[in-house]
Amino acid sequence: MVNEHSLTVSLEEFGLSKYEAQAYVALISKGTISASELSYYSDIPRTKVYPTLLKLENKKLVIISKSKPIMCTAIAPEDAFDSVIHEQINKVNAMNTLVSKLKKASEESRKSRGSEEKRYYQLSANNVLNQLRKMIDGSKSSIQIAVDQWGLGLISECKEQLLSVNRRNLDVKILVPTTLIGSEAYRTIPDGVKIRASDVVQNCFIFDETELLMVSDENGKGVNFSSTEILGNNQSKLFTNIWKNAIKTESLADMTKSESQEIYKIIKIINENGLNHILNSIIVSKKLDIDMIKLLEKNGVNLKTKSLDDVIEMIDAAMQIMCSGHVNFDANNKNITIESKLNSGHSLPWVSILDGYLQKKGYKTRIVFQNNSTKGEKTHIKITKN
């Protein structure tokens, strides 16, 4: 059984107050309960419960009903603490930058004293590509790559080497900016190489978690750190953390760059605004009545000009990326099924977009929502032409 006290203490280390941590752990354990029940289960004084709930709501950790008695529900941990995880990753990035500056200061100090120690190889821009190809060929177990546009251009010229390591079943992962998905260089990467999208700010190539090649996007020069276990392990762990939160790209493999970018734009809008709008709408009016099509149009995405098949294909790709979901259209029975392997309302924004689109196109819709704690969410949209 999970020790609730240890969970509370851990949450306090992430910045929550004692009462906030006790309340969140109690809600995770008990599900949707009233404020008075929360006071009982969390051992928080009744006079402190509502102020504590308001603070948790401001931190986007709970949902509070507008009805009486007040009911409260915890936001799922994987959603609630996403921003905290990114904050920790940013701290690691900042620490890496600080260590680099301190190392530079140390080296300059040694130079001023007449001594210099080098544990890396500097590469001219002309030699970087050859060195990269050699390091890919020489890798034994894994390759982890984070690149911007410059670095992706280098990778696109290493197709033969990547095909070779694929045949040896090496684990090859590449992080690229979302703006490069579907680009010409992106399409040269062989099948079998895993690609995800993130806000990449450097060109870093990690081989077998020990050897590093870092390349400047300003002048193309590189630095090869050879057999540096500590540095390699640290960079590999940082890469792994970013990879876990990066956006999957498999569903966009056959799309053009413009189609891919439009889907990522929709995902960004939904991530920033969609789910909160939908949940608030349900709490207040008990139905999905928010105009998601208008929300997308305000942010430069117009779905009304597209066919139903195109919209279904776009939402299917977006759901594969965001929640391992799918959209299926049974034309004979006039039924659209939206499935998500994740609960907690992950599919609701996409259901609302489809429903809004269909109504704008003159269809009459009827929505049937199913929720299974072990199998995820499933929604059926029955459509008839007005």
Q: Spell out the SS3 assignment of 308-377.
A: HHHHHHHHHHHHHHHHCCEEEEECCCCEEEEEECCCCCCCHHHHHHHHHHHHHCCEEEEEEEEEECCCEE
* Of 23-27, 63-67, 76-80, 285-289, the least confident: 285-289
Q: How many CB atoms lie within 10 A of CB 156?
A: 16
135 burial class (0-12, 13-18, 19+ CB within 10 angstroms)? buried
Q: How many CB atoms lie within 10 A of CB 89?
A: 16
Considering the chain, what is the average pLDDT of its residues?
83
Pairing label, strands 120-123, 203-207: unpaired
- Give the rounded percent of residues in the chain with a pLDDT score beyond 90: 25
Pairing label, strands 142-146, 171-176: parallel
- Residue 140 reports pLDDT greater than 50: yes
Q: What is the DSSP letter of 251?
A: G
Is the CB of residue 147 less than 8 Å from the CB of residue 214?
no
User: Phi, psi (5° rounding) for residue 377?
Assistant: -110, 145
119-248 maps to CATH 3.30.870.10: yes
* Of 38-52, 126-140, 233-247, 266-280, the least confident: 266-280
CA triple 85-91-93, angle to 5 deg: 105
Phi-psi bin for 193: left (phi > 0), alpha (psi -120 to 50), beta? beta
The structural domains of the chain, with segments of one domain joined by +, span: 4-75, 76-117, 119-248, 257-385
Rounded Cα distance between 135 and 116, Å, is 27
- Residue 2 reports pLDDT greater than 60: no
Q: Which residues of 322-338 are buried (b: 16+ CB within 10 A; e: fewer)?
A: bbebbbebeeeeeebeb
Rounded Cα distance between 148 and 214, Å, is 12
Q: Give 116's pLDDT tier (boundaries 50, 70, 90).
A: very low
Rounded Cα distance between 334 and 383, Å, is 6
Q: Give 194's pLDDT tier (boundaries 50, 70, 90).
A: very high
Among 354, 135, 115, CA closest to 225: 135
Rounded Cα distance between 231 and 211, Å, is 9
Q: What is the DSSP letter of 215?
A: E
pLDDT of residue 285: 53
Is the CB of residue 195 less than 8 Å from the CB of residue 205?
no
Q: Which fold has domain 257-385?
A: Alpha-Beta Plaits (3.30.70)
Rounded to an integer, the average pLDDT of 13-21 is: 83
Rounded to an integer, the average pLDDT of 221-236 is: 76
E-assigned strand segments in the chain = 33-34, 62-64, 71-74, 120-123, 142-146, 171-176, 194-197, 203-207, 211-215, 222-225, 247-248, 326-330, 335-340, 363-372, 376-385
Q: Which fold has domain 4-75?
A: Arc Repressor Mutant, subunit A (1.10.10)
Give Cα 349 distance to the centre of its chain: 17
Cβ-proximal residues to 152 (8 Å cutoff; 6+ apart), any chain: 176, 180, 183, 185, 186
